[in-house]
Amino acid sequence: MVAALLAALLGTGALGGRAALGQIERSVGADGVISISGGRRKGGGDGRAKAEGAPAVHMPSDTSADRLTRYDAYIREAATLYRLPAAYIRAVLQTESNYDPRAVSPAGAIGLMQLMPFTAERMLVEDIYDPRQNILGGARYLRILANQFNGDIHLTTAAYNAGEHAVIRYGGIPPYEETQGYVVKVLENYERYRADENE
């Protein structure tokens, strides 16, 4: 049901087949236009391997009540620009950083949407700590993944956590405990935010 709903909202993608993933590089312009060129993904590998020179770990610590609405305008902007449900962006954001723009994971993912530096670079994010740029960059990446996986919310979510190559390699959600738990948590948050929108 959820997968079908998101597929309908997202539409089908236009980003090439799965076989070519290791041979092409995608970049997204500030206006959302996706460019495709030859080459390998900078940083290599899947998921969130620790990057050299990564900043110190900072676990989410902002507990102020207003953090839950502080970024609403940016979430709406990203939802409109990348044709994603705002509730889905919000669910990923909460699961990733609990609304703390200073969050840095042990693997080196940064900010509200916990972008790895090489992913932020691919999404043309200039300041990874800037809340607006981080949200737009994360939404761009979700849009690319949704296109790549034909709007399947489970695979899109798993790929955001583990990397698209891992999802392709395993033909579905990778057998990583972290990723499997992550998908469940994001979808639970998504359903809750959707219900709140409909009240």
Q: Tell me how far apart the alpha carbons of residues 38 and 72 are, in angstroms, rounded to a whole number.
A: 36
192 token code pair: 């809750």
Q: Could you tell me which residues are beta bridge partners of residue 28?
A: 34
C-alpha angle with apex 94: 88 to 99, nearest 5 degrees? 125
H helix count then E strand count, the chain: 8, 2
Which residue, among 72, 189, 136, has the nearest Cα to 144 in the 3D structure? 136
Q: Which of 96, 177, 178, 191 is labelled catalytic?
A: 96
Q: Which class for 12: exposed (0-12), middle (13-18), buried (19 or more C-beta within 10 A)?
A: exposed
Residue with tokens 């737009």: 136
Does residue 96 carry a catalytic annotation?
yes
Q: Which residues are catalytic?
A: 96
